[in-house]
Amino acid sequence: MNRRALLEKWWLIPVGLTASAFAGMGLYALRVSRKSVPGAPQFQAGTAQRVAALPALGTDWAEVEFSYAGRPCVLLRLPAATLGSLDVGEQHYAAFSRVCTHLGCPVNLVRDTEVLAFSFGYRAPNPVDQHPYLGCPCHYSVFNPLASGEAVFGKAHLPLPRVRLERRGNDLWATGIEPAPENVG
């Protein structure tokens, strides 16, 4: 091949690189958009541990942070029941591991939906879903507590592990936890 023939085909290089870039972005988008939906809880029994008194969670979206089985966790009072939550009369409680299922950063309850939109790049698809979410500040994954900790946005595709709760008198106790995904704390 001579120099002239080579120069006539130079356009194949940027076209090939562009096509490769778009294919890579498409594969990445496909991988990130596949989210696992939480099913029935798969709790592993653990040592019973008192988490909070019921009066400490006086309103919906009240939270108590605690540690269970060596993992940071959060207990929430929710406005509706979810898979794996505990119902006490008209009140609903759920607890989740605070370890993000992407790379293990701690998630936090984000109460302001505008902060969620601005900082995490997530806005709920409809007005019914305008409520607090659990957000990971490291890579901006968002988890929905009213969908049993389902990952709804970001790089995480697995739901947050749930903690089994029991009512004992006027207290809530943690008695088990779902296993953490592999390679995550």
pLDDT tens, the chain, 185 aa long: 788 887 788 888 888 889 888 888 777 666 666 778 888 899 999 999 999 999 999 999 999 999 999 999 999 999 999 999 999 999 999 999 999 999 889 999 999 999 999 999 898 888 878 999 999 999 899 999 999 999 999 999 999 999 999 999 999 999 999 998 875 54
What SS3 string covers the chain? Answer: CCHHHHHHCCCHHHHHHHHHHHHHHHHHHHHHHCCCCCCCCCCEEEEEEEEEEHHHCCCCCCEEEEEECCEEEEEEEECCCCCCCEEECCEEEEEEECECCCCCCECEEECCHHHHHHHHCCCCCCHHHCCCEEECCCCCCEEEHHHCCEEEECCCCCCCCEEEEEEECCEEEEEEECCCCCCCC
Among 184, 163, 31, residue whose Cα is nearest residue 106 = 184
Count the neighbouring beta carbons within 10 Å of the beta carbon of residue 184: 17
Question: Which pLDDT belongs to residue 112?
Answer: 92
Which residues fall within 8 angstroms of residue 43, CB to CB, at 6 or more apart? 84, 162, 164, 175, 176, 177, 178
149-160 confidence digits (pLDDT tens): 999 999 999 999
Check residue 99 and report its DSSP letter: B
Task: Tell me the whole-structure pTM to 2 decimals.
Answer: 0.82
Tokens of 144: 């929905």
Q: How far apart are CA 162 and CA 46, in angstroms?
A: 13
Phi, psi of 40 (to 5 degrees): -60, 140
How much of the chain exceeds pLDDT 70, in percent?
A: 95
